[in-house]
Structure 1
Amino acid sequence: FYAVLDGLRREGRTVFFSSHVLSEVERVCDRVAIIRSGRLVALSDIEVLLDRRRRHVEMRFAGDAPALEGVPGVSDVVAQGGSLSCQLEGDVGPFLAAIAHAQVRDLTIEPARLEEAFLEYYEDAAAA
């Protein structure tokens, strides 16, 4: 199945693919449309859509964690001794500059997932 879709992609062909298994959509598609209540609410390259999403970050430091409050794109900072978790959105440059002089022991940035983006569109509808 995936080999067929990859072959069609290399040939430059368009395939309309509908699925509720968003990890599968993320794997095989270049662009995605999100439809809510019969209306198109998003149409974007998957990469562009995911770049705008927040990613979860976990870090461990040799000493105390650096202060990240106020760093552009960083939110929900929770620091405890040499451990820190936060959310990261957009350009990682300011974040990397803020931790550049710290002794980082471990750094994990979880990539944004299409399912999270999809759920945001539906949560917005529920809140309205």
Structure 2
Amino acid sequence: MNVIEIKGLTKQYRKGRGIEDVSFSVREGEIFGFIGPNGAGKSTTIRTLLNFIHPTNGIASLFGKDIVSESREIRKHVGYLPSEVHYYDDMKAIDILLYSAKFYQYKNTKRIYELAERLQLDLQKKIEDLSFGNRKKVGIIQAILHEPKLLILDEPTGGLDPLMQHIFFDLLKEENEKGATIFFSSHILSEVQKMCDRVAIIKEGRLVKVERIETLTKNNLKKIHMLVDNPTEMKFDFEGIVDIQQTGKDIHLLFSGDVKKLMNHLYGLDFKDLTIEEPSLEEVFMHFYE
């Protein structure tokens, strides 16, 4: 079963870029990454899915329900964490979270205190007295408090220190193990590589690729590091070289193609040392963007 289904989703603005003809699906129980730099269309896609803004064209559904006509029913089962959280400044964190629990008719308010303890959040402080990171913690608790079937996270780790990021990822894994589907939007590729099963890459409002993480990093590209004595004499004019970077006697190549042909080309080159590795998701990502 697909929890998220998007077909030809388009949102156009008079000024600036939106999204154009975006299509993909997310399976139940999956942790799905949605990556691209700021301004690529990640937040526009999310806001359209949540019916905060209406699509210009295309259709989309969550849990098989139309995002526009059945949005009220959808929201009962979704937890959403925006990139920036905004609350009434003079309210205490505990008051906001108790109100949220009532909104979802969720009665296990003990869970608020358990989550706050794990995230080291002072529930008695007013929002105006909280740092950006602590406000983000309130948003995290609000998003996962009612144990939603779908979590939609937009740049969720902004403002969190490394320790809190680790705790946050543990919480996500626990929710996923309980059956929650997670849609994880980020421009921090190491997070996506660590957490996600599949990933969609968006560029300038258009979808570039939807693929499994392991397929992106293993099957398509190879990273080659060479140590040479005479770098000026090295020629890499064979097909498949995506990128070349040179620092003194160190040469770094990114190769896409048949590995056997690559080995044949490398065999005739004069080098002192050679390593061939799988690229990181970030290197793959930059390949698509360049």
TM band (smaller chain): 0.5 to 0.7
Instruction: Name the residue aligned to 2:203.
Output: 36
Secondary structure (helix, strand or coil) at the match of 1:34 reads strand
Give the AA of the match of 1:37.
E
Query: Aligned-pair distance for 1:110?
Result: 3.4
Q: In the aligned structure 2, how far is the partner of 1:28 from the partner of 1:122?
A: 22
Structure with bigger gyration radius: 2
1:14 to 181, 191, 215: 181
1:115 to 282, 286, 290: 282
Q: In the aligned structure 1, how far is the partner of 2:252 from the partner of 2:288?
A: 25
- Relative contact order, higher structure (CA 8 A, sep 6+): 1
Q: Taking every aligned residue pair, what percent have the same amino acid on both sides? A: 46
Unpaired runs of 5+ residues, structure 1, are: 61-69, 77-83, 97-105, 124-128
Q: In the aligned structure 2, how far is the partner of 1:48 from the partner of 1:7?
A: 25
Question: For 1:1-128, what aligned pairs fall within 5 Å after superposition?
Answer: 1-11=168-178, 13-50=180-217, 51-55=219-223, 57-58=224-225, 108-123=275-290
Query: Aligned-pair distance for 1:113?
Result: 0.9
Distance change (3 Å), C-alpha of 1:107 and 1:4: farther
TM-score by length of 1: 0.55
Query: Aligned-pair distance for 1:59?
Result: 7.3
Query: Aligned-pair distance for 1:6?
Result: 2.6
Unpaired runs of 5+ residues, structure 2, are: 1-167, 228-237, 244-250, 264-272
8 Å Cα contact 2:193-2:213 kept in structure 1: yes
Q: In the aligned structure 2, how far is the partner of 1:48 from the partner of 1:4?
A: 26
Q: In the aligned structure 2, how far is the partner of 1:58 from the partner of 1:16?
A: 35
Q: In the aligned structure 1, how far is the partner of 2:175 from the partner of 2:275?
A: 34
Q: In the aligned structure 2, how far is the partner of 1:11 from the partner of 1:92?
A: 41
Number of equivalences: 119
RMSD: 4.3
Q: In the aligned structure 1, how far is the partner of 2:282 from the partner of 2:253?
A: 20
Query: Aligned-pair distance for 1:2?
Result: 1.8
TM-score by length of 2: 0.30
